[in-house]
Chains A and B, each alone.
Chain A
Amino acid sequence: MSKEHTEKRIVYSPEGDPIEVNPLQDYFCEDLPEVHKASSIAILENFRNWARSRSLWVLGFGTGCGAIEMRPLMTPKFDAYRYGIQWRPTPRQADVFVVSGYLSVKTLKRVIRTYEQMQGPKYVMALGSCTINGGMYWDSYNTINRLDYYLPVDVYVAGCMPRPEALLAGFDQLKKIIREGRGEGYNKYAEEFAWYKANQKKIIKDWDMPDYNW
């Protein structure tokens, strides 16, 4: 979008005093993410992980061509609901971010923002070769090659494109990971935040958002 909205500007209070507005600082929380330890009570954490694995709310955000493969999951033929998988329209309420296919730099920016707005524990599932190594867009000037340099990926589903069965298998894998307590991708993101941010900032040249989008 146009740049003037992110630059500093002066507004005037009702009394006519000037107020300087610095959009990035003033509108957005600037804090960085923290690591959240799992509960030390094993049985409690196991129970929670069971619930997490049985209730995967997926964010309805199709980034690339793979989005078309996600829709059949909800049809009678595949019926992902029976595994506790359902779509949510807002990142605040979603647990799983399915990155469905190639990511241009422009889309990556939105993906990062949305991922950061989700509440932890949160999981990333990457679809197709494009997210693994760039796929057929490996030498494009505008498409990323490896998603795991920008976001902590929990599960990759290979293929170009993977079919819904593969996706279901991916979800199954994700469940296993969560159940075993290894679904801590978001903590990894917080731990290695500087590295992720550096990678992100390397390709997103006009960085016009706070470092972490709460």
Chain B
Amino acid sequence: MVDPIYIVAVLLGISFSLGFIGKKSENIAGILSLLALGFTTLVSAQWFYNFVTADIETYHIFTTAFKPPFSINLMMGKEEALFTMMINAIGLFGGLYMFDRLKAAGKNSFIALLMLIMGLNVVVMTRDLFNLFVFLEISSIAVAGLIVLTQNTKSISAGFKFMIATGIISGLLLLGIAFIYNYAGSLNIDHILTQNLEAAKGLSIAIFFLMIAIVLEMKPFPANGWGLDVYSSAESGVSSLLSSAYATATVFVLMKLLPFAPENLQFLIAAIGIITFVFSNLMGMRQDNPNRMLGYSSISQIGLLAAVIGISSVIGEYTYFIVISILISHFLAKSGLFWIAGIVKQESIKNWSVLRSNKLLLVLFGVFIFALTGLPPFPGFFGKWELVMHLAETKNFIWIFAVLIGSFFEVVYMFRWLGYAVKNDIIIETKLKAKIHQIIPLLLFAAAAFGAGYYVSSEHPYASLINYLPLAVALGFAFIEFLPVFIKNTLAIAAMAAYFYFNYESYNELQVIFAAIFIIGGILTLIAGYAYKGKRQGFYPFALMMFAGLIGLVEATTTLEFFFAWELMTIGSYFLILRGKKSIKHALSYILFSIGGAYLILAGFGLAAIGKPDISIGILSNIELYAPWIFGLLAIGFMTKTASIGLHIWLPGAHAEAEADVSPMVSAILLKAGVFGLIMLFLAMGEQFIGNISFAYILSWVGVITALMGNMMAAFQEDAKRLLAYSSIGALGYVLFGLSLMSHLGWLTAISFSVTHFMFKALLFLAIGGVVWRLKTKDMYKMGGLIKKMPFSFISVLIGIIVLAGVPPLTGFAGKWLFFQAVVEKQWFLQGAVLFFSGIIAFLYCFRLIHSIFLGQPKDEHRNVKEAPFWILVPQYAILMVIMLFSMLPNSLLKPIGDMLMPYFPDGAITWDGQMATTALGYWNGKTVMFIVVGVFAIVFGWLVFMNRNAKKVKQFNIGYAAERPFLPETTHYAFNFFAPYKKAIGFLVAPGITNFWHRVDEGAHSVSDKFTKIYNGNAQSYLIHIVAFILVIYLISFGGF
């Protein structure tokens, strides 16, 4: 193995030798520097590899013949190897990325780069305090040199502020070191640590200065204005060095020096860190400039790390794992994002739509955003999970709250940015061209993000259980994007079918039901994808990712697997929703609600794991502590997905704007993920109480109001898909109510209704999607009379609405019947009556849907429209056949579900006699009802045909029109504001109160963020005052001044 001293030696040597190279030979200088950096990267990588695989001993380097504390010594351990590897890598690839920029600035810039990296390497490896100070100085001077690469007022003033600030910091550091030397009589870290620090009076002041200097290097809120100016004005490549290399080294220094600090100072550092994390992210929401936004993000991430390190005594041995996983995510993602920002060169994130001109960059951008926000499968995900778990374990609930709220703020602005990039309307003509030396680092870092994710999860005791196969298949589709839709669709269907075929036997009944909804339902909706032409890029990886998540939910045995799958599903569906038209706003609100919900789930799982030996799902069923809290957190988390009232505002837009086959995916299938979660929760935890009131009772009302409001709002929509989306909200209210009944019949209702809802909602969304496909509008009043043009779609919608409305003899009635029996049995009459009422309101929108689109007056523009594409009809008719089967033989659906529920709710089951269902209260025979209705219908129909056999077919305006004639179909088709009188009577119930509430929350957060951002006025003097005031305040706090 190469001695690590050569890292320093080579870097120093090359940078000195660059001085001898002629003025014109920047190329040679550059290549030499890169070679040097490559060498150092390899050296540290080799050390790291050996540490990981061979578990070798820590290596010490002694610079002179004396042993420490009489000489300076360096150390190469596993941590050092990792950190130097990261620093060298960013030096190498950052240098490569900036190659032509540095070359243009002259060879001295290469020297600055090499000095920076060299300095940081030593900062990491050294065990000597003064040495640390010296090399930190060298690095910061090198950084200042790099900052002023861009010769404009902004960057020069930023460089000046940087020098001033680091000057103060160095002064403090030096002061601290001097005092320590005075009291401890040594500069060697290990040596000082062996002494009894407590004993030395006055040493605490010394350590305070030392630590505060390091903390200031991390740019804590609010004394970080100087850092932000650097991020926003320096070259992107330099910012990436600063954010990734410099900050990484600082984090390591903090870890190294932490043992110096007494317990209370450690907590103070942690508090500073978490405050920085929350507030920087809060202010990040207000940013429009990408570099400055990334600056806020960098500062916040480092703040989080400082917080984690600060409370390492609480977290214990896992600190290292958490820090490393979060840091690696940050390191890779932030450099990548800074580099992309350097290529895009847009001052406002709104203009990032230009990124669409380069697909590769767009994909990389997405990967980095996900890595940064801690979504799976990237390492940050596991870091955040472990962090929350350990904070919960030690009951630091406020910390959990702070971590999650800060992360949530970060998600807000990162995904807004991503949304703008993928979907914003601003069209900029320039085609982005990235040079090859800029692309290579990006690609390598993106790959490293995946690799690191896999590595980190393999280190984790439970993460290694996660089934990566579905995710791998989904990602695999990213590599066959060049294939036409037909092949990809077939492959996707085959993959899902094969997965189901090989696995379903290992599922229990509940899992089979939901796996069937997820996978068979998924296959059905995928069939509609054959209707698309071309390549349909960016659809299959995400669709399959969503299904991978759904499958993961069903299969999850640990809470970590469950959460992983939940996040995966969220990501996939986010992109599917983002594909729709005008989706940018809706997709953002979708991801925000989903991630907010996911964080609640995370917190819930964290609380659940307190005092438990493992994290299997089963721990939910024997919880002693905080049970109502856990139940509440998890229930609300799941209810964001089922879009219960209050949490529903993301749904209508998201589902309505999606594509023809995506709407059924997200509406008929995805929502069931929330149902599955709730079922799991109820099964595990049973009834929970707040005081005397049962949670189930509260949820029953939530479900009832959701159903009522969902249905009522659906009745007043003009947009067909929005109508169906609101109807989904209402239907999920039914399911929630059914579950909250906590009885056999209630659950039977809920689960069978979930299945039925999947069928009719998929049917309706596909049929309406087919109509919209042909008509290119979603407004119902612009349609009309399409029954003659689209008879097959009409039949689908007809059957769909009959099932939806629950009118016998079709299978929808089963749900209504069961539900009524369950209500009477449970004696929740008021809820039952309101729910029945909302079921009747469903008639309103059902009729409106079919009337406005298929009946009434055909429009002139639609004379030549064709029936919906064949492949969109195929799944509809497959579903239709199943509906007919279940209608004829209701026990083929209900009996297996009832049997499945027997172990959980043995009382009150239905007795079956053939197709005759009997409960304690009533009875129903689906088959005879069907026969009677069909029989009577046939006879009456025969009679009518006999009477009216020679009826004259007439055209659309042959109507008795008060002796006049209609003139235009548009003015004759009564469809707009169809339920005007109804709206007049009870429209006040559907005033957009909840939407307004969330808007106000949004505005409030942004205006708070605005207030705080104002303290950064760009003035060096005020930044100085911030720093001094900060030090003073911290001093007073730590020494009891307050």
The answer to A–B direct touch (Cβ < 8 A) is yes
Contact between B957 and A19 (Cβ–Cβ < 8 Å)?
Answer: no
A113 close to chain B: CB less than 8 A: yes
Q: Which residues of A79-93 are within 8 A (CB) of B?
A: 90-92
Contacts of A17 in B (CB 8 A): 864
Contact between A14 and B957 (Cβ–Cβ < 8 Å)?
Answer: no
A93 CA to B965 CA in the complex, in Å?
A: 18
Contact between B958 and A214 (Cβ–Cβ < 8 Å)?
Answer: yes
A173 close to chain B: CB less than 8 A: no
B54 close to chain A: CB less than 8 A: no
Contacts of A11 in B (CB 8 A): 860-861
Contacts of B777 in A (CB 8 A): 14
Contacts of A92 in B (CB 8 A): 960
Q: What is the minimal beta-carbon distance from A181 to any residue of chain B, in angstroms?
A: 21
Decide: A28 near B967, CB < 8 A? Known: A13-B864, A14-B862, A19-B863: no
Contacts of B965 in A (CB 8 A): 113, 209, 213
B795 close to chain A: CB less than 8 A: no
Contact between B861 and A27 (Cβ–Cβ < 8 Å)?
Answer: no
Contact between A12 and B952 (Cβ–Cβ < 8 Å)?
Answer: no
B963 close to chain A: CB less than 8 A: yes
Contact between A31 and B952 (Cβ–Cβ < 8 Å)?
Answer: yes
Q: What is the minimal beta-carbon distance from B551 to any residue of chain A, in angstroms?
A: 38
**For the complex, would chain B's binding face be called helix, strand, loop or mixed by DSSP majority?**
loop
A21 close to chain B: CB less than 8 A: yes
Contact between B861 and A110 (Cβ–Cβ < 8 Å)?
Answer: no
Contact between A113 and B963 (Cβ–Cβ < 8 Å)?
Answer: yes
Contact between B864 and A19 (Cβ–Cβ < 8 Å)?
Answer: yes
B774 close to chain A: CB less than 8 A: yes
Highest count of chain A CB atoms <10 Å: which of B864, B954, B965, B967: B965
B865 close to chain A: CB less than 8 A: yes
B24 close to chain A: CB less than 8 A: no
What residue of chain A has the Cβ atom nearest to residue B777's Cβ?
A: A14
Contacts of A198 in B (CB 8 A): none
Q: What is the minimal beta-carbon distance from B1023 to any residue of chain A, in angstroms?
A: 59
Of the candidates B776, B864, B958, which one forms a contact with A213 in the assembled complex, judged by CB atoms under 8 Å apart?
B958
Q: Which residues of B915-968 are within 8 A (CB) of A?
A: 952-958, 960, 963-968
A125 CA to B954 CA in the complex, in Å?
A: 27
A28 CA to B955 CA in the complex, in Å?
A: 5
Contact between A19 and B963 (Cβ–Cβ < 8 Å)?
Answer: no
Contact between A90 and B960 (Cβ–Cβ < 8 Å)?
Answer: yes
Decide: A13 near B861, CB < 8 A? Known: A26-B955, A27-B956: yes
Interface residues on B, range: 20 to 34
Highest count of chain B CB atoms <10 Å: which of A14, A61, A214: A14
Contact between B960 and A117 (Cβ–Cβ < 8 Å)?
Answer: yes
Contacts of A104 in B (CB 8 A): none
Chain B 857-891 against A: per-residue CB contact (8 Å), 1 yes, 0 no? 00011111100000000000000000000000000
Highest count of chain B CB atoms <10 Å: which of A12, A29, A111: A29
What residue of chain B has the Cβ atom nearest to residue A112's Cβ?
A: B963
A5 close to chain B: CB less than 8 A: yes
Q: What is the minimal beta-carbon distance from A88 to any residue of chain B, in angstroms?
A: 10
Total chain A interface residues with beta-carbon distance under 8 A: 28
A61 CA to B775 CA in the complex, in Å?
A: 41
Contact between B963 and A61 (Cβ–Cβ < 8 Å)?
Answer: yes
Contacts of A27 in B (CB 8 A): 955-957, 966
Highest count of chain B CB atoms <10 Å: which of A1, A26, A92: A26
A114 close to chain B: CB less than 8 A: yes
What residue of chain B has the Cβ atom nearest to residue A6's Cβ?
A: B967
A17 CA to B861 CA in the complex, in Å?
A: 9
Contacts of B952 in A (CB 8 A): 29, 31, 214
Contact between B864 and A29 (Cβ–Cβ < 8 Å)?
Answer: no
A179 CA to B830 CA in the complex, in Å?
A: 61
A21 CA to B865 CA in the complex, in Å?
A: 15
What residue of chain B has the Cβ atom nearest to residue A11's Cβ?
A: B860
What residue of chain B has the Cβ atom nearest to residue A94's Cβ?
A: B960
A49 CA to B954 CA in the complex, in Å?
A: 27
Contacts of B966 in A (CB 8 A): 27
Chain B 765-779 against A: per-residue CB contact (8 Å), 1 yes, 0 no? 000000000111100
Contact between A29 and B958 (Cβ–Cβ < 8 Å)?
Answer: yes
Contact between A14 and B775 (Cβ–Cβ < 8 Å)?
Answer: yes
Highest count of chain B CB atoms <10 Å: which of A11, A27, A114, A209: A27
Contact between A110 and B964 (Cβ–Cβ < 8 Å)?
Answer: yes
What residue of chain A has the Cβ atom nearest to residue B965's Cβ?
A: A209
Contact between B963 and A114 (Cβ–Cβ < 8 Å)?
Answer: yes
Contact between B953 and A19 (Cβ–Cβ < 8 Å)?
Answer: no
Contacts of B774 in A (CB 8 A): 14
Q: Which residues of B768-793 are within 8 A (CB) of A?
A: 774-777
A1 CA to B961 CA in the complex, in Å?
A: 14
Contacts of A91 in B (CB 8 A): 960
21 A–B contacts from the bound complex (CB under 8 Å): A5-B967, A5-B968, A13-B861, A13-B865, A14-B776, A14-B862, A26-B860, A28-B957, A29-B953, A31-B952, A61-B963, A91-B960, A92-B960, A110-B964, A111-B963, A113-B965, A114-B960, A114-B963, A213-B958, A214-B954, A214-B958
6 further A-B contacts with Cβ under 8 Å, apart from A13-B862, A14-B775, A110-B964, are A1-B967, A5-B968, A19-B861, A28-B958, A91-B960, A110-B963
- Give residues in B with beta carbon < 8 Å to A: 774-777, 860-865, 952-958, 960, 963-968
Top 10 A-B pairs, shortest CB-CB distance:
A27-B957, A110-B963, A5-B967, A14-B776, A29-B954, A214-B958, A11-B860, A214-B954, A91-B960, A29-B955
